[in-house]
Amino acid sequence: MNDCLFCKIAAGEIPSTKVYEDEYVYAFNDIDPKAPTHILFIPKQHIQSAAHIDGDNSFIVSKIFEAISKVAKDLGLDDGFRVVSNVGESAGQTVPHLHFHVLSGRDMTWPPG
Ligand code: AMP
Ligand code: ZN
């Protein structure tokens, strides 16, 4: 049995606020937003993290970034946005299913904490 939270969200088994969906990609609002716009983009297929991207699944990452670009245009994120993927616990990954945070709507610092 697959107990992965984001697999269940992508399958519609756990509710989420959908922002975008296609054959490979699902995007939804983060439940605890860190910026006025905070969307999570995930592959429908389970991939644990960016450290688990390989020649067999990397095409899905290009699909995710096509979706990010489209949604950013549709939502008018013209002042900019940040794309973040935490890999592993020390980097802040709490859900072990690859996801890209898209944050926008406020000034951001660099480097991140
Ligand atoms: P990370 O800490 O990088 O693994 O990011 C996981 C993100 O998932 C966090 O920003 C959480 O707020 C978010 N999150 C956890 N559970 C849910 C949920 N049920 N619906 C939407 N976002 C969630
Ligand atoms: Zn999963």
User: pLDDT tens digits, residue range 5-41?
Assistant: 999 999 999 999 999 999 999 999 999 999 999 999 9
Write down the pLDDT at residue 113: 78
Catalytic residue list: 99
86 lines ligand 1 (CB under 6 A): yes
11 lines ligand 1 (CB under 6 A): no
Q: List beta partners, residue 103.
A: 38, 82
Q: What percent of the chain has pLDDT over 70?
A: 99
**Which has the closest alpha carbon to 21: 48, 43, 47, 38?**
43
Q: Is the pLDDT of residue 1 over 70?
A: no
- Provide the pairing of β-strand 37-43 with 100-104: antiparallel
User: pLDDT tens digits, residue range 43-81?
Assistant: 999 999 999 999 999 999 999 999 999 999 999 999 999
Q: Any idea which ligand is nearest the CA of 42?
A: 2
| Overall pTM > 0.85 | yes
Write down the pLDDT at residue 64: 98
Ligand 1 midpoint to CA 24 (Å) = 19
Q: Which atom of ligand 1 is nearest to the CA of 14?
A: 19
